[in-house]
Amino acid sequence: MAHKVTDECIKCGACAEACPTGCIKEGEAKYEVDASQCVDCAACEGACPTGAIKAE
């Protein structure tokens, strides 16, 4: 189960820095998780200051 970045994302980049697989990249409106590379470790979820990352 991959994680998803919701609209609460403020594009701070904390999630991408915390991701051990590097599967989070900056998108146009928010950061995005490449579900095919996500290992469901939840490091991004814990790093997000706005709680914008949720498990799908």
**Assigned token pair, 35:** 């579900």
Q: What is the pLDDT of residue 56?
A: 84
Q: What is the pLDDT of residue 55?
A: 92
Q: What is the pLDDT of residue 1?
A: 75
Q: How far is CA 19 from CA 6, 12, 36, 39, in A?
A: 16, 14, 14, 10
**What string of pLDDT tens digits covers the 56 residues of the chain?**
789 999 999 999 999 999 999 999 999 999 999 999 999 999 999 999 999 999 98
Q: Are 23 and 14 in contact (CB under 8 A)?
A: no
Q: What is the pLDDT of residue 14?
A: 98
User: What are the extents of the domains in the chain?
Assistant: 3-55
Select 3-55's CATH number: 3.40.1190.20, 3.30.9.10, 3.30.420.40, 3.30.70.20. 3.30.70.20
